[in-house]
């Protein structure tokens, strides 16, 4: 199936407009963002994906979730695929960034009259803040787990300390 050149040009123009609007909102160089298709918000790496002729009329935001631990890769990939089936696509879909192998959370935005840079920027900001909050919660849980483990070791030592009689 051949795609009309006018449709391709309209897609490219709309995509470029959205990227330029995002660049202005996040105060990054628009030309650089057009080329790199990558920026950072709240310390979260965000990629812009354009599948061109394969997926006309859509822009995809890819939130980099970081590297997948090699020892658990199979388990993690399976969980990501299962979540893709269990959750509505409005939540996003999990994938892998081909260039670096990192896990990603992807959101597809269809071109519509209501879609503009502000709408995309708000979504980027909300998702990046949620990610940072979730990451912070995980870190706090790990600290609490370590602290609980240390307290349990101290309790165990105290409870099992031999009684000295004089």
Residue 107 within a domain: yes
| The pLDDT of residue 81 | 93
Number of domains forming the structure of the chain? 1
Q: Are residues 101 and 68 in contact, defined by beta-carbon separation less than 8 angstroms?
A: yes
What is the extent of the structural domain holding 139? 5-159
**The model's pTM:** 0.77
Q: In what order do the strands lie in the sheet with 103-110?
A: 38-41, 44-49, 58-66, 103-110, 93-96
pLDDT of residue 39: 93
Is the CB of residue 123 less than 8 Å from the CB of residue 130? Answer: no
What's the pLDDT at 88?
86
Look at residue 75 in the predicted model and tell me its pLDDT. Answer: 92
Domain membership of residue 166 (yes or no) is no
Residue 165 lies in a domain: no
Walking along the chain (166 residues) 10 residues at a time, the average pLDDT comes out as 78 93 95 93 91 82 92 91 89 89 92 93 91 74 64 58 50
Structure-derived torsion over alpha carbons of residues 14, 99, 44, 20, reported in degrees to the nearest 10: -20
> H or E stretch including 91?
none
Tokens of 161: 């300390």
Which CATH number characterizes residue 41's domain? 3.30.1460.10
């Amino acid at each position: 199936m051949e795609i009309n050149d006018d449709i391709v040009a309209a897609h490219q123009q709309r995509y470029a407009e959205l990227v330029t609007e995002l660049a202005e909102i996040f105060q990054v160089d628009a030309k650089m963002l057009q080329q790199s298709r990558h920026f950072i918000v709240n310390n979260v790496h965000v990629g812009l994906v354009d599948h061109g002729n394969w997926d006309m009329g859509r822009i995809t935001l890819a939130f980099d979730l970081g590297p997948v631990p090699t020892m658990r890769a199979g388990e993690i990939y399976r969980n990501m695929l299962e979540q893709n089936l269990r959750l509505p696509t409005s939540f996003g879909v999990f994938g892998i960034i081909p260039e670096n192998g990192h896990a990603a959370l992807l959101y597809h935005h269809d071109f519509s009259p209501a879609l503009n840079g502000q709408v995309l920027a708000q979504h980027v900001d909300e998702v990046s803040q949620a990610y940072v909050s979730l990451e912070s919660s995980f870190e706090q849980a790990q600290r609490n787990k370590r602290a609980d483990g240390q307290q349990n070791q101290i309790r165990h030592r105290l409870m099992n300390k031999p009684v000295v009689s004089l």
